[in-house]
Chain A
Amino acid sequence: MNSNNVVLKVEDIRKSFGENEVLRGVSFDVRRGETKVFIGPSGTGKSTLLRCINQLTPPDRGKVWLDGEEVTNSGARINYFRQKIGMVFQNFFLFDHLTALKNVELALLKVRGMGKAEAREKALTELRQVGMEDWADHYPAELSGGQAQRVSIARALAMDPDVILFDEPTSALDPELTREVLEVMKKLAREGMTMLVVTHEMGFACSVANEVLFMENGVVAEQGSPDLLLHDPRFTRMKDFIGRIDSRMED
């Protein structure tokens, strides 16, 4: 593959909170249509890494490029880049005072400056994408966690992003609801959406990811295709970690 396909480039990202060095130099390229999954123990900077990419948490050092344009140090243009870099959060963060439909519409109206009718049409289309069109007029408090997360995915999709960052999108959900959200994400991957996913769902990682990055102590310790990581004896640390997840789930 040639480098023209690289949509997101992350170079030597470093971030400390006080004495605590959370990210110690993380670099990778993301090609268009690719799904990269980040796994690893808690506190190894996976979520911080995602927030450094869209500058919700500005990194101390390192650079991020989207389609060849620098996202880091972009000043007020960051609001443009954030439209192009969608984000889905562990706790959904739907706008509590707005219906599902209005949640998806809001940024179309206020950021993209769309007309009401057009925004509504687009929002309904995105809700249909995630199977939530029948819930358009419900408020977040009336939705299950899985439904809320699907709406938040629709909200990110509405901005026509180049890439979507998923920050533990199913960690707040029980297995049943986890499945409905993962189904939506698998569908997006099949349709060619570029995704960076922080998750503990190994089944999802193995079936969807083009590449799995195992993070430990603020760096990418091991990376490769899911097959390679699971079956190549050299990748020991990740297998240890997966073993620990599995045994925890059996408890």
Chain B
Amino acid sequence: MDVLPVLIEWLPYLLSGVASTLGLVLVALVLGLLLGLPMALGQVYGSRPVRWVIGIYVWFFRGLPILVLLFLFWFGIFPGLGLGNLSAFVVGAVVLGLRGAAYQSQIFRGAIQSVGEGQMIAARSLGMSRLTAIRSVILPQAMRIALPGWSNEYPNILTDSAVCYAIGVVELLTITSRMVTQTNITMPVYLATAGIFIILNYGGLKVLHRLEARIAIPGFGTGAM
């Protein structure tokens, strides 16, 4: 059987899988950012109970295999909360995002802590409130410090997203395996999927590195690679 015509015939499906995979990654990254950044601030500036709760969260989401988390939420936690009719896509994206938040919070925490303490002292000495100092002085620096490490979250989540196959999200790997069973072509199809993942991976990283270069400032080691 000729492989190429089959691949071309399936291409629209593969592309819909790509769209679904990128959707998972995008939602997960954004959710991870929206949760991870406040968590990092809470861990650095929060009271003891706040730090404790965030610590437990991070411990939980970093301590369990992604597949276990996925099953736990898909079969247990979401149905238990009366959210049993959430689509597999939403559950997959949310679980990836909740887990990403745990990792992102640690990236941002390290970045915030690496901003020199003189920055806060100088800001306060000018009459800025703590909140204003964090927003106008600490975070703009911490975000620049964090970006190279944060960029690594993209390939991490992209590759992790394939496990959403296990709860039936129709993403790239799901399409691929359907294609294998229906066409009986194995190796070339998996190779094509691997190729697509690699393109997504390095394409995305290139975009992120451009962003790093764009916001680079003299004195901050975040120039283009």
Q: Is A107 a contact partner of B118 (Cβ separation < 8 A)?
A: no
Residues of B within 8 A of A97 (CB): 137, 140-141, 144, 217, 220
Interface-central residue, A97, A140, A156, by most chain B CB under 10 Å: A97
Question: Is A89 engaged at the interface, CB distance under 8 Å to the other chain?
Answer: yes
Whole-angstrom distance between the Cβ of B175 and the nearest chain A Cβ: 44
Q: Is B132 a contact partner of A111 (Cβ separation < 8 A)?
A: yes
Q: Is A94 a contact partner of B136 (Cβ separation < 8 A)?
A: no
Question: Is B124 engaged at the interface, CB distance under 8 Å to the other chain?
Answer: yes
Q: Is B126 a contact partner of A96 (Cβ separation < 8 A)?
A: no
9-residue interface stretch from A25-33, A61-69, A79-87, A177-185 = A79-87
Q: Is A159 a contact partner of B126 (Cβ separation < 8 A)?
A: yes
Which A78-129 residues have C-beta < 8 A from chain B? 79-83, 86-87, 89, 91, 93-97, 106-107, 110-111
Q: Is B127 a contact partner of A83 (Cβ separation < 8 A)?
A: yes
Partner of B121, one of A83, A89, A94, A96: A89
The digit string for B86-130, where 1 denotes a CB below 8 A from any CB of A, is 000000000000000000000000000000101101111111110
Question: Is A139 engaged at the interface, CB distance under 8 Å to the other chain?
Answer: yes
Whole-angstrom distance between the Cβ of A138 and the nearest chain B Cβ: 8
Q: Is B127 a contact partner of A111 (Cβ separation < 8 A)?
A: yes
Residues of B within 8 A of A106 (CB): 126, 136-137
The distance in angstroms between the C-alpha atoms of A106 and B217, with both chains bound, is 17
Question: Is B5 engaged at the interface, CB distance under 8 Å to the other chain?
Answer: no
Known: A96-B220, A110-B136, A111-B132. A80 touches B127 (CB 8 A): yes
Residues of A within 8 A of B116 (CB): 93, 96
Whole-angstrom distance between the Cβ of B212 and the nearest chain A Cβ: 14
Q: Is B127 a contact partner of A159 (Cβ separation < 8 A)?
A: yes
Q: Which residue of B lies closest to A81 (CB)?
A: B127
Q: Is A56 a contact partner of B140 (Cβ separation < 8 A)?
A: no
Residues of A within 8 A of B144 (CB): 97
Q: B residues bordering A, Cβ < 8 Å? A: 116, 118-119, 121-129, 132, 136-137, 140-141, 144, 217-220
15 A-B pairs whose Cβ atoms sit less than 8 Å apart in the complex: A54-B125, A79-B128, A82-B126, A82-B127, A89-B121, A89-B125, A93-B118, A95-B119, A96-B219, A110-B132, A111-B127, A139-B217, A139-B219, A140-B219, A159-B127
The 3 A-B pairs at the shortest CB distance, nearest first, are namely A141-B219, A93-B122, A83-B127
